[in-house]
Amino acid sequence: MIILIATPVTAHELSIYTITVNSSGAQPSDIPNGSLKEGDTAWFWMKDSTNNTSLVIEIERDGATLRSPVLVYQCELDENGTLVDEDCQNRFDYTFNQHNSAGLWNITYLKYVNETLTETINGSVFIEQDIHDQQPVEEEDEVVSASKYSTNQIIAMAIAAISLMAIFVILFMNEESQE
């Protein structure tokens, strides 16, 4: 258990990127490179208050397409603040798979007025691969390159060796007390 705790693991903190779609269009329609990695989430908010406007988001990669439900500006609530229509949504969340979503994704924003398509906005996002490997040890000369273990690995091995000796001492003391 101590070895697992002592071993360093590097990963990025999962993040959420927000895209707002209003009467001026998608802000931003193209998500800047370096903004999202595998495992991150994009939130698409419908903020166009024009009468009877709705929005559908299409996300496509390598020929596979996913469509959001129909998004509207505002959902009707009852006096308790509960949705009147359970299917009403004004935000679409998409989480990019943590293992195989790296690459270029096309995003299409389809705006409808009175259920008639009136505007199509195209955008994209490049999802970066999330690499969880440890940073390689820099090798400056032959003396350093002879060492295959990082400082953290040496500390972890020392803790493991001390723990193993402590286990043997405890077991040996336990046998003496039983005699």
Cα–Cα distances in angstroms (integers) from residue 179 to residues 129, 168, 173, 175, 176, in the given order: 60, 17, 10, 7, 5
Summarised one tens digit per residue, pLDDT across range 119-177 is: 999 999 999 987 765 454 444 444 444 455 667 777 878 888 888 888 878 877 766 55
CATH fold of 16-127, please?
A: Immunoglobulin-like (2.60.40)
What does DSSP say about strands 53-61 and 64-67: parallel, antiparallel, or unpaired?
antiparallel
How many CB atoms neighbour CB 133 within 10 A?
7
pTM of the model: 0.64
pLDDT, mean over the chain: 81
Amino acid at the residue 163: S
List 157's β-bridge partners, or say none: none
